């Protein structure tokens, strides 16, 4: 089958295109700005790439199926041609994945407001390290496993990141509804994606819909410490395993500690010691990601807490797990300066990362640089939450609000108000009209304070779910050149 991907250079679309190519399909794609690294990977796989969207070209190529990415909307010339002519069959990415891969597999679907990419990578990594050949589709660029997609053996689980965002402009259901879960991992649940969901109850509703398609012989791995997940109810139509720190969870994280040397904790399974973990991944949030992933892997491969025996899944490989790019990724590490890039774009994610960095780098000057970029972060919806989270830093630099001209001033994230609030909390804060100007201010602050950093170092963490107009790479390159 010849499949045409609209928006092929996105991480999820690109990895899905590679899966389709590996399955023997002829794959073609287009994007507005065919850009690396995904364009390079796709080209190396023998996939033809086209710049921009052209109905005449699409008509000439005559694919059997067009996959419309959820970044596409009405007004796109190829979308309009497809709707006008009905000349070609089209579908969404989640529906394609279901029909071509997931409907015949035992799927581990990793969901939640935070940690989906890391937990998906962890589950795939643990399966491989324990002798399995899982399929997987990871919505990021993992270091372990070393690729973001793999078909795997038909008899082994398929691990996929289950996003609650909508499937396409013509299918407003959450992506994960298409993914036929055998094991549904519910990492956490908070209000996010204000452009899609009305409120927290609306998000809970779509998660509840997901739980109702888990078969009775399947499993829900649920963060038992999360009040918003507990509010979903008993979920009596399938089996539930609760994971967390608190008493009463089936799988527990115990003896957690974090300092400059790393993180260590113990996992217990139904009250029995499963194993000790010492690894480099920061924070209690990553310990929970590991516990959720390990539990899902154990259940998908035959373990069950009520059976009385410990899972046959070794936790030892976690010590070697290197994580995912742009998730607390260290770009610069010198005695005086550490630069970290993080995909954080929600107040909870920022707060947990800043807490971890405070433990990791005691006595360091902690500088947070945040770009209000996501469809929710660039609005006032979570502004108070961002104020609370950023107050954990010693210094804060706020980037320009992404696509600010598309928002009314009354709705737009107010960087100046956040700066004023942080300064009342004793936090130095600054912003600027452009991200390039933010970089200049950050560089000036770094240079001015160098003489005062004889004892402690500076830790600079960038938070953005986008490119931050290149200032992260520019700051890191300048620091490495000095």
Digit-coded pLDDT (tens) for 125-142: 999 999 999 999 998 888
Tokens 């295109």, residue located: 17
pTM assigned to the model: 0.90
Residue 459, H or E segment = strand 458-463
User: Which pLDDT value is given to residue 450?
Assistant: 53
User: Which pLDDT value is given to residue 141?
Assistant: 83
Residue 252, Ramachandran bin (φ over 0: left; ψ between -120 and 50: alpha; else beta) = beta
Distance from C-alpha of 260 to C-alpha of 184, rounded to nearest angstrom: 34
User: Which pLDDT value is given to residue 457?
Assistant: 87
Distance from C-alpha of 261 to C-alpha of 225, rounded to nearest angstrom: 27
Who's near 113: CB < 8 A, 6+ residues apart? Answer: 164, 187, 188, 189, 190, 192, 203, 346, 348
Burial (0-12, 13-18, 19+ Cβ within 10 Å), 290: buried
Distance from C-alpha of 231 to C-alpha of 249, rounded to nearest angstrom: 16
Instruction: Count CB atoms within 10 A of the CB of residue 156.
Output: 18
User: Which pLDDT value is given to residue 372?
Assistant: 96
Question: Rounded to 5 degrees, what angle do the CA atoms 159, 156, 187 make?
Answer: 25
Condensed to tens digits (0 to 9), the pLDDT of residues 238-257 reads 999 999 999 999 999 999 99
In DSSP terms, 322 is beta-bridged to: none
Residue 115, Ramachandran bin (φ over 0: left; ψ between -120 and 50: alpha; else beta) = left
Give the CA distances from residue 252 to residues 225, 243, 304, in Å, rounded to whole numbers and listed in that order: 10, 6, 15
Distance from C-alpha of 70 to C-alpha of 73, rounded to nearest angstrom: 8
> Quick check: 225 and 249 in contact, CB under 8 A?
yes
Burial (0-12, 13-18, 19+ Cβ within 10 Å), 388: middle
Distance from C-alpha of 168 to C-alpha of 119, rounded to nearest angstrom: 24
User: Which pLDDT value is given to residue 455?
Assistant: 40
Strand pairing category for 337-342 and 329-333 = antiparallel
Residues in the chain predicted with pLDDT less than 50, given as ranges, are 451-455
Domains of the chain and CATH, by start: 2-93 (3.40.50.720), 101-320 (3.40.1190.10), 329-481 (3.90.190.20)
């Amino acid at each position: 089958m010849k499949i045409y991907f609209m928006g092929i250079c996105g991480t999820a679309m690109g990895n899905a295109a590679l899966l389709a190519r590996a399955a023997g399909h002829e794959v073609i794609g287009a994007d507005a700005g065919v850009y690396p690294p995904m364009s390079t990977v796709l080209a190396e796989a023998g996939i033809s790439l086209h710049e921009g969207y052209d109905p005449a070209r699409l008509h000439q190529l005559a694919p059997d199926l067009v996959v419309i990415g959820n970044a596409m909307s009405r007004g796109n010339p190829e979308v309009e041609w497809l709707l006008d002519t009905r000349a070609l069959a089209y579908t969404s990415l989640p529906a394609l994945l279901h029909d071509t891969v997931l409907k015949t597999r035992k799927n581990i679907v990793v969901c939640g407001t935070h940690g989906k990419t890391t937990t998906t990578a962890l589950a795939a990594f643990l399966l491989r390290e324990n002798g399995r050949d899982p399929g997987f589709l990871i919505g990021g660029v993992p270091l372990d496993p070393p690729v973001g997609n793999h078909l795997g053996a038909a008899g082994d689980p398929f691990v996929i990141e289950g996003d609650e965002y909508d499937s396409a402009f013509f299918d407003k259901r959450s992506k994960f509804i298409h993914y036929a879960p055998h094991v549904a991992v519910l990492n956490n649940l908070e209000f996010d994606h204000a452009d899609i969901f009305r409120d927290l109850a609306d998000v809970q509703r779509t998660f509840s819909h997901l739980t109702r398609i888990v078969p009775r012989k399947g499993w829900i791995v649920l963060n038992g410490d999360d009040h918003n997940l507990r509010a979903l109810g008993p979920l009596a139509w399938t089996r539930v395993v609760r994971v967390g720190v608190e008493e009463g969870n089936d799988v527990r994280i115990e003896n957690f500690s974090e300092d400059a040397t790393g993180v260590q904790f113990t996992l217990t399974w139904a009250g029995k010691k499963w194993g000790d973990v010492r690894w480099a991944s920061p924070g209690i949030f990553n310990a929970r990601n590991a516990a959720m992933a390990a539990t899902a892997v154990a259940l998908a491969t035959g373990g069950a807490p009520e059976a009385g025996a410990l899972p046959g899944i070794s936790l030892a490989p976690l010590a070697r797990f290197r994580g995912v790019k742009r998730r607390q990724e260290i770009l610069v590490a010198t005695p005086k300066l550490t630069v970290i890039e993080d995909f954080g774009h929600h107040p909870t994610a920022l707060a947990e990362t800043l807490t971890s960095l405070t433990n990791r780098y005691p006595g360091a000057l902690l500088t947070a640089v945040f770009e209000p970029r996501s469809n929710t972060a660039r609005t006032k919806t979570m502004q108070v939450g961002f104020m609370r989270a950023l107050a954990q830093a010693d210094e804060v630099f706020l980037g320009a609000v992404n696509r600010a001209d598309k928002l009314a001033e009354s709705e737009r994230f107010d960087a100046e108000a956040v700066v004023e609030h942080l300064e009342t909390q004793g936090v130095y804060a600054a912003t600027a009209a452009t991200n390039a100007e933010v970089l200049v201010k950050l560089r000036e602050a770094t240079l001015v304070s160098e003489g005062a950093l004889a004892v402690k170092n500076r830790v600079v963490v960038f938070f953005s779910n986008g490119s931050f107009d290149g200032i992260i790479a520019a700051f890191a390159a300048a620091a490495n050149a000095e």
